[in-house]
Chains A and B, each alone.
Chain A
Amino acid sequence: MSSRRSRLELVFDVLLAIQNKGGVIKPTHLMYKSNLSHKLLNSYLEELIQKELVVIEEEPVKKKRRPSKVVKITEKGLSFLAEFRRMREFTDAFGL
């Protein structure tokens, strides 16, 4: 059985899910992709928005009057992903 994910790993998983979807994802899809509950995802999203790693944008949808919300990864978010990958590689290489 895999161990519990740390806070940093959860942030990485959320950002990776957005990146894998081309940088933009719907909040519901993000919830499933990152394997988090609605409540937990919202708390993480708040933190990520505060740290300018992601932004919430509104996208017009056909057949619907109201635009839907999407989560978009920022440049800062992409550089965090790269930094986390480097950290993980360092950890694996040096057996930490």
Chain B
Amino acid sequence: MFRLFYTPGWFNGYDLLFEGIVLIIALLIAAYSWRVYRINKENKYAYFSLAFILVSLSLIFKMFTNGILYSFPIRETVATVLAPATGAHLRYADLFYRAGFFIQMASMLGAWLLIFLISQKPRDRLNKYFELSQIGLFVYLVLLISVVSNFEYVVFYLTSAVLLSLIVLNYYKNYLNTNNNKNAFSVLVAFIFVLFAYLCFAFVSLNSSLYVIGEVLLLLGFLLLLCTYRKVIRKK
């Protein structure tokens, strides 16, 4: 059966729980950003919302494919259900997993890219045609990387790490521009956690426990985003 990489057996299931929490946080942020967009009709809020929806989509697909891989009875049931589509003896089962991994990677890369574009300043450069041409080029690259990553998973994690480094840099600039705003600092630290999580995932082939560290860092990063979100919405 096709798998991206092997994770520590004892951790199977816990990662799904961690990702479930991250998924809820991402949806909360997406919903609030969408609400802000509906009030002031500025595109950047809609893009930000879309970015976190893409993060959620990626996590849903990751949880789905990993969940099936971890759980043998479910896997067998799914195999039976999919048998007519995948052919006798599930000769094309790999295709199902590859499709799952592809959507997971494409949507996550798309999300990081959108967050990077939104956090770029000055805003004036994001005029209509500049925006469209950049998005077009990046969509092509995201799809290309996602296809290649199905064979070499490290390409996906390294590309994500590069994008996250640029996002961290933009958030550092934002922190300085907002006169050392505490919430801006929390968001900066949160993305640093996410960056280190992806660096751990990139080198998981060296030691499978890096996957556990990566998942913990990812959860910590998103919990910090949740704290910031709560502080923001509780402001009077």
A interface, CB within 8 angstroms of B: 6, 8, 82-83, 85-87, 89-96
Q: Is residue B171 contacting chain A, with contact meaning CB distance below 8 A?
A: yes
Q: Is residue B74 contacting chain A, with contact meaning CB distance below 8 A?
A: no
Cβ of B189 to closest chain A Cβ, rounded Å: 12
Q: Is the CB of B32 within 8 A of A95?
A: no
Q: Is the CB of A92 within 8 A of B184?
A: yes
Cβ of B55 to closest chain A Cβ, rounded Å: 13
Q: Is the CB of A89 within 8 A of B183?
A: yes
**Pick the contact of A89 from B33, B174, B235 — CB < 8 Å?**
B235
Roughly how many angstroms separate A82 CA and B234 CA in the complex, as a whole number? 10
Cβ of B228 to closest chain A Cβ, rounded Å: 6
Q: Is residue B236 contacting chain A, with contact meaning CB distance below 8 A?
A: yes
A95 touching B170 in the complex, CB below 8 Å, given contacts A85-B235, A86-B233: yes
Which residues of A have CB within 8 Å of B178? 92
**Pick the contact of A90 from B36, B170, B186 — CB < 8 Å?**
B36
Roughly how many angstroms separate A6 CA and B40 CA in the complex, as a whole number? 9
Q: Is the CB of A87 within 8 A of B36?
A: yes
B interface, CB within 8 angstroms of A: 32-33, 36, 39-40, 44-45, 48, 118-119, 121, 170-171, 173-174, 178, 181, 183-184, 186-187, 228, 231-233, 235-236
Roughly how many angstroms separate A92 CA and B232 CA in the complex, as a whole number? 10
Chain A minimum-CB-distance residue to B121: A95
Q: Is the CB of A93 within 8 A of B186?
A: yes
Chain B's interface: helix, strand, loop or mixed, by majority?
helix
Chain A minimum-CB-distance residue to B124: A3
Cβ of B183 to closest chain A Cβ, rounded Å: 4
23 contacts across the A-B interface (CB closer than 8 A) = A6-B40, A8-B39, A8-B40, A83-B39, A85-B235, A86-B232, A86-B235, A87-B39, A89-B183, A89-B235, A90-B232, A91-B36, A92-B178, A92-B181, A92-B184, A93-B184, A93-B187, A93-B228, A94-B48, A95-B119, A95-B170, A96-B44, A96-B118
Q: Is the CB of A89 within 8 A of B232?
A: yes
A96 touching B45 in the complex, CB below 8 Å, given contacts A87-B36, A89-B232: yes
Q: Is the CB of A95 within 8 A of B36?
A: no
Chain B minimum-CB-distance residue to A89: B232
Which residues of B have CB within 8 Å of A95? 118-119, 121, 170-171, 173-174, 184, 187
Q: Is the CB of B183 within 8 A of A93?
A: yes
Q: Is the CB of A90 within 8 A of B32?
A: yes
Cβ of A64 to closest chain B Cβ, rounded Å: 38
**Pick the contact of A96 from B39, B48, B183 — CB < 8 Å?**
B48
Which residues of A have CB within 8 Å of B183? 89, 92-93
Chain B minimum-CB-distance residue to A80: B39
Roughly how many angstroms separate A36 CA and B8 CA in the complex, as a whole number? 65
Which residues of A have CB within 8 Å of B235? 82, 85-86, 89
Roughly how many angstroms separate A82 CA and B232 CA in the complex, as a whole number? 11
Q: Is the CB of A93 within 8 A of B36?
A: no
Roughly how many angstroms separate A6 CA and B183 CA in the complex, as a whole number? 24
Q: Is the CB of A82 within 8 A of B236?
A: yes
